[in-house]
Amino acid sequence: MPDDLIRLTKSQISIIRSRLKQDGIKTAELVEDLLDHFCVAIEEKMAEGRTFNVAIDDAFGSLQEDELKATEMKTQELLEGKKVFYPDLFQSFLLVLSALFIGWLVFFAVQAVAIGIEDLELREQWFEQNHLLIFEISTVLIFGVPIGYAIWKKRQMQSSASVFSFRSVPIYVYGILLLIATFSCFWLEPLHLFIPLFREGQEAEFAVREEFNPLLGIAVGTGNMILMELPSRGIILKGLLMTMTPLRAIFWSSLLSALLVYPYFTSIFFLSWILGWLYWKTRSLYPSIFILIAIPVISYILAQNISALSKSYISWWNYVDHNLLIYLPLVIGSLLLTVGLLYYLNRRLSVESTT
């Protein structure tokens, strides 16, 4: 294309941008593409002697009926999958409840089999030996139900889009996320330490982790978290973002993902706000999965070096000898630094999508 054509002014470009948005173009990168497309077309028409107003009417007038809306919808469909195979809020609740029900059912069914062993001592021994395995089977089933649902729906729709969004994210994002994960180790602790909804469940899992090789415990825990991310952000949040505002979608998906891992309800609910926001900004599961891997790994590394009580995770509350005067500034400071980093990341990502 010739580059020595008339160049549109900022206000003329702003008119075209408004027109695109008015006609239904929302995806940031699509706006930039189409803006340039229309600018070139209009500049060519103006070079032939038409005024800007005539040229813009000609350019938009040459489109087929609802062509811009179709472009937006098709882009969304190819990138995100058809709306129909992602659940709305009611379906999301149903999915989470069914997943929990199936997980529990298997957990209790296996227990019932164990109870069938008549000798009490043998029964307890069997249960202790197989606790982690039973727990993992029910966890995989809990998360597997929503994943299976989405894959089944996608097949039904014969869609070519991937169920899960794994888009590449600039490398600097991971650097910022590493810092966020480090600071989150501090402020997340009081959430499950002081506001535990299911203390027994948590303690049982920590006890299991301590019994086994700490690295195996971390690998299993991290695997579970990744498995949680697929239905939580990959399916539920993705579906909710199609039907409600980002804020509401992030709130409901955080609540539902915290329900899926109810022993950690409080901490996962708050952490999910960050994970949900990351997904919404990047439309990729990589950043949230990265955070979920980084937090336990950082905690493990710190525990290896400074914790005397546990070699699999570090408790800052124990480390500072339950001294609130040290603990409180540590928690508040880390929270403020996390918020600051998120603010910085938001600005960097916003610049990325508009320049």
Binding stretches for other proteins (CB under 8 A): 1, 3, 7-10, 13, 27, 29-30, 32-37, 39-41, 63-64, 67-68, 70-71, 74-75, 77-79, 165, 167-168, 355
| Least distance from other proteins to the Cβ atom of residue 2, Å | 11
73/193 with CB nearer other proteins: 73
Amino acid at 269: F
24/144 with CB nearer other proteins: 24
Cα 32–Cα 35–Cα 38 angle in degrees, nearest 5: 150
Q: How many CB atoms lie within 10 A of CB 301?
A: 11
Q: What share of the chain is helix, strand, coil (3-state, %, to 5)?
A: 80, 0, 20
Q: How many CB atoms lie within 10 A of CB 41?
A: 17
| Least distance from other proteins to the Cβ atom of residue 61, Å | 14
| Least distance from other proteins to the Cβ atom of residue 206, Å | 40
36/128 with CB nearer other proteins: 36
| Least distance from other proteins to the Cβ atom of residue 71, Å | 4
Interatomic CA distance for residues 191 and 215, integer angstroms? 24
Distant-in-sequence, close-in-space partners of 316: CB < 8 Å, separation ≥ 6: 185, 186, 189, 327, 330
DSSP-derived letter for residue 6 is -
162/315 with CB nearer other proteins: 162
8/256 with CB nearer other proteins: 8
| Least distance from other proteins to the Cβ atom of residue 68, Å | 7
Interatomic CA distance for residues 293 and 274, integer angstroms? 14
Interatomic CA distance for residues 150 and 154, integer angstroms? 6
| Least distance from other proteins to the Cβ atom of residue 27, Å | 8
71/272 with CB nearer other proteins: 71
